[in-house]
Amino acid sequence: MSRAAATPEDVFGPLFRAVQVAHVFPDNKAFTDLIPRDRPEVILVAFRSEQPRGRAALAAFVARHFREPDAGTPAQLSLREHIKALWPVLSKPPMAVVPGSSALELPNAFVVAGGRFREMYYWDSYFTMLGLKADGEQPLIESMLANFVSLVERFGHVPNGTRSYYLSRSQPPFLALMMDLSDTRDPALQRRRLAALKTEHAYWMAGATCIDATGSCQHVVRMPDGALLNRYWDARETPRDESYALDLATAEKAGSRPKEAVYRDLRAGAESGWDFSSRWLKDGKSVETIHTTDIVPVDLNSLLWNLETAIARRCRAAGDLACAADFDRQANTRKAAMAKYLWSAIERRFADWDRSSGKATPSISAAILYPLFVGLATPEQAALTAKLTKAKLVAPGGLRTTTVRTGEQWDEPNGWAPLLWIGVRGLDRYEQSRLADDLANRWLKTVSSFYACTGRMVEKYDIERGVAGGGGEYPVQDGFGWTNGVTRALLDRPAPDRSIADPAAQRPQTACNPTP
């Protein structure tokens, strides 16, 4: 089983570093995804021979030796029609690997997020699939699932995205939830998928065998009473290829702190999908204080509990009762540890746990809704979570990510489609439907109004003002896979309040102000 592939920095070494440090592209990720026009060794020989210096010379060299992946845009239609028309645009054929490219081979068709994100991403894909399901695109769902199973079989886990530079980490484990969207009943395929889920679980729990005096190894941490829970982590401790210059700068700002620790925590933050957020910042505001690997997150452990229960359920259906009992036991053990450490009895809320302080973090974020989404919260915990959500996280345009402003994209004022879906579904699950209805309608109003104004679906929204979101490492992106998927699924959700103008009928108009 192959578990590694060369990243763009590995392949292009001095050329890669020169281009990134010179800021040839405003977005560090842009160069990492270009397609080489020739074999890497030929390009490197040319680079050593020409020795381009300075931004302009490097840009000219890159233009000669690399090309952009193809892209396209659809016509502007009604919101519902627009989302449906975007699936063919965002769908890509099986991916063959060009020597020197950072792309990972994919044997089947897949859907990308859009904009700068031209590969298949892990947790994004679940929310995209919600919309594919609503629009009857079942073959694409099955095709993407086949790709994910293939990735697990080849690399031992689902990487962050289908690029070589993403292989050292994963993303929030939604594979079991994706499989629940499948229509297949083929026994052989079900066995193969169950094997993939077991392999994914083994990846997240591999650190249980190497925990040392620090109390952690890889993704696994030992809690004060000896129980095991999980954290986000990355196998490399170097700058991210796709954010190379940015990571170098962050490590410099971190002062005397070992640079390798900063890089590891940045990478772990990227694995979380919340890259970046005050959830991971020791001082709550500055990215150079990031300490993601110290945090035991409530969302990750909720998803791993779901993974364990899903494996148990599938083992039981396959007649493997020993396997079912084993994973039931693991799920119950995790649930007990979460009740002890990730539920604050004093504050009566779900919380992340900070290993460095030995207590719950003060962060109130949309992550508190994950235990409701997967169904591990008690009715009392769900009611208290709904109360806190209504008091702190409901914004004019949807669900707040956190309650603090840092300039990072996974903080206030931004709202994100995946978290909105987690919240709505979790609240519905515990009969908190009035709040779920309210959040869903606020989100639909934000998305439909912005679309009516601009003809665009975007990655994130400023849900305080109803404009495109901001912050983070790159400009807001159009597309956009998970926004399309969640919005399309919500358009079919039964809800009593349809007082907003029908979002499915919204078309672009000119009298608006879409930018901050």
The pLDDT of residue 82 is: 93
Region 153-175 average pLDDT: 98
292 inside domain: no
40 inside domain: yes
User: Which residues contact residue 208 at a Cβ distance below 8 angstroms, ignoring those fewer than 6 apart?
Assistant: 217, 220, 228
275 is catalytic: yes
Q: Name the pLDDT band for 510 (thresholds 50, 70, 90).
A: very low
459 is catalytic: yes
User: Which residues contact residue 278 at a Cβ distance below 8 angstroms, ignoring those fewer than 6 apart?
Assistant: 284, 285, 363, 402, 404, 406, 408, 411
Q: Name the pLDDT band for 502 (thresholds 50, 70, 90).
A: low
408 inside domain: no
The pLDDT of residue 1 is: 46
388 inside domain: no
Contact 447, 504 (CB under 8 A): no
407 inside domain: no
368 inside domain: no
The pLDDT of residue 287 is: 98
Residue 40: is its pLDDT beyond 90? Answer: yes
- H or E stretch at 442: helix 433-454
Q: How many domains does the chain have?
A: 1
Bridge partners (DSSP) listed for residue 106: 95
Beta strands (DSSP E) in 316-377 are 343-344, 349-350, 353-354, 359-360
Region 379-398 average pLDDT: 98
167 inside domain: no
The pLDDT of residue 97 is: 87
pLDDT in tens, 184-194: 999 999 999 99
The pLDDT of residue 26 is: 87
Residue 77: is its pLDDT beyond 90? Answer: no
Structural domain including 41 reads 1-68
Residue with tokens 């977005």, as numbered in its chain: 27
Catalytic residue among 275, 294, 299, 478: 275
Residue 2: is its pLDDT beyond 60? Answer: no
Q: Name the pLDDT band for 73 (thresholds 50, 70, 90).
A: very low
Report the candidate in 467, 469, 454 with the shortest Cα–Cα distance to residue 419. 469
> In terms of DSSP bridges, do strands 110-111 and 91-92 run parallel, antiparallel, or are they unpaired?
antiparallel
Catalytic residue among 9, 27, 247, 459: 459
The pLDDT of residue 508 is: 58
What's the mean pLDDT when you consider all of the chain? 93
Select the more confidently predicted residue: 73 or 7.
7
396 inside domain: no
